[in-house]
């Protein structure tokens, strides 16, 4: 059922945005970070009622939402949000989608993580195809400043934090042109897939850690 739902949503967006890649990516990235907000909300609720506390999960999911925010800012800098119908579609879908994922995560966290694994895997393949089909044009265009700041110039704590399969500072990608930027976004999506798989592990409650984690009692 989850796979069918993802395929249906993807087919609708692909049809609506056939020849408009940046508005399409803008819509996808607006919606893409919503599940991380939903995970954070439910985890906060668990902490508030004293049911469960794992600070690392909050940190990593927030860093994932921060990463998706930067994908969104890049799409906005490329003009993806210029038309109001695209903004309306993205925002209204995101509000609706948030509550669906809150319910799914509250009742079955593993299903929610599986759902997100499929969504992130679709994002990876979407950007991979886009890179293959537009290599020459992308290499001829400059990287947006927001991408340069996020991947190279700024504080890279949050960039390292969402990559649970890497050691700190292991991934320092180039960001010399727009092609590099889309390679980085595609590779970020692949990191999200790996993290979503790690979160479904039967022993994840004990094994899943923030890359910056140091052993502290009570976390």
**Sites of contact with Fe ion (CB under 5 A):** 32, 68, 71, 120, 123, 189, 192
Residues 6+ apart with CB under 8 A from 205: 54
CB closer to Fe ion, 89 vs 116: 116
Q: Of the two residues 32 and 42, which places its CB atom closer to Fe ion in the complex?
A: 32
Instruction: Phi first, then psi: give them for residue 156, nearest 5 degrees.
Output: -95, 15
What is the smallest separation between the CB atom of 27 and Fe ion, expressed in angstroms?
A: 12
Cβ nearer to Fe ion, comparing 47 with 94: 94
What whole-number distance in Å separates Cα of residue 165 and Cα of residue 30?
Answer: 25
CB-closest chain residue to Fe ion = 71
Closer residue to Fe ion in complex, CB, 32/89:
32
Question: Is the CB of 121 or the CB of 177 nearer to Fe ion?
Answer: 121
Burial string for 32-61 (b: 16+ CB within 10 Å, else e) reads: bbbbbbbbbebbeeeeeeeeeebebbbbbb
Name the helix (H) or strand (E) containing 192: helix 178-199
Q: How far is the CB of 94 from Fe ion (least distance, A)?
A: 13
Whether residue 2 contacts residue 10, with contact meaning beta carbons closer than 8 Å, is answered with no
- CB of residue 72 vs Fe ion: minimum separation in angstroms? 8
| Cα dihedral sign, 139-141-147-148 | positive
Buried b (16+ CB within 10 A) or exposed e, 65-78: bbbbbbbbbbbbbb
Q: Provide, rounded to whole angstroms, the least separation between the CB of residue 147 and Fe ion.
A: 12
The distance of closest approach from Cβ of residue 117 to Fe ion in the complex, given in angstroms and rounded to an integer, is: 11
């Amino acid at each position: 059922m989850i796979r069918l739902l993802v395929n249906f949503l993807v087919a609708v967006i692909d049809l609506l945005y056939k020849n408009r890649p940046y508005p399409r990516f803008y819509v996808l990235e607006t919606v893409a970070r919503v599940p991380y907000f939903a995970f954070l909300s439910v985890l906060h609720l668990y902490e508030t009622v004293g049911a469960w506390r794992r600070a690392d999960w909050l940190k990593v999911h927030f860093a994932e939402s921060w990463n998706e925010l930067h994908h969104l800012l890049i799409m906005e800098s490329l003009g993806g949000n210029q038309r109001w119908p695209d903004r309306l579609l993205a925002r209204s879908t995101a509000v609706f989608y948030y509550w669906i994922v809150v319910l799914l995560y509250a009742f079955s966290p593993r299903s929610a993580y599986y759902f997100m694994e499929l969504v992130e895997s679709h994002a990876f393949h979407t950007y991979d195809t886009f890179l293959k089909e537009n290599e020459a044009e992308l290499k001829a265009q400059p990287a947006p400043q927001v991408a340069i700041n996020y991947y190279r110039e700024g504080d890279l704590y949050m960039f390292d934090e969402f990559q649970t399969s890497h050691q700190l500072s292991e991934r320092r990608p180039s960001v010399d042109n727009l092609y590099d930027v889309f390679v980085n976004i595609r590779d970020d999506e692949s990191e999200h897939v790996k993290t979503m798989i790690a979160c479904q592990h039967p022993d994840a409650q004990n094994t899943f850690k923030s890359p910056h984690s140091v052993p502290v009692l009570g976390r």
